[in-house]
Amino acid sequence: MESKELAMQIAKLLDSKKATRVKVLKVRDLTVLADYFVIASGTSSTHVKSLAEEVEFSMKEKEVSPIRTEGFKTQNWFILDYGHVIVHVFSPDARDYYDLDHLWADGEEVAMEFEEA
């Protein structure tokens, strides 16, 4: 699966599960870490955890497993690393504190192709 397609599928899934502030950033030209970051927030620590678990479960059903995961102990910031796509799911406070949106502001925000016009 191409990295953009994977990022968009994950963003669509997060949106369907009521994640807030879902954003896909193309960072390929800025870093060797990944081609895309998917950034989203949950409304509570329980919601954040369930969003991360849902992404992992749904992608495994498509035979796509993360290389690494982080955050399942803290439940404030989950990271699911799919190689060319890194998914960040934050609690609202953690998202504001770490401010990846600002840190990676030079990344190109990808239009959410699944949104209604």
Tokens 């890194």, residue?
Answer: 86
Which pLDDT score, from 0 to 100, does residue 113 have?
Answer: 64
Tokens for 32, please give them: 């060797």
User: Taking all residues of the chain, what is their mean pLDDT, rounded to a whole number?
Assistant: 92
The model's pLDDT over 2-40, given as tens digits with 9 standing for 90+, comes to: 999 999 999 999 999 999 999 999 999 999 999 999 999
**β-pair partners for 20:** 41
Q: What is the pTM of this model?
A: 0.91
Distance CA 96, CA 33 (A): 22
The model's pLDDT over 66-101, given as tens digits with 9 standing for 90+, comes to: 999 998 788 799 999 999 999 999 999 999 999 998
> Other CB atoms closer than 10 Å to residue 21's CB: what's the count?
12
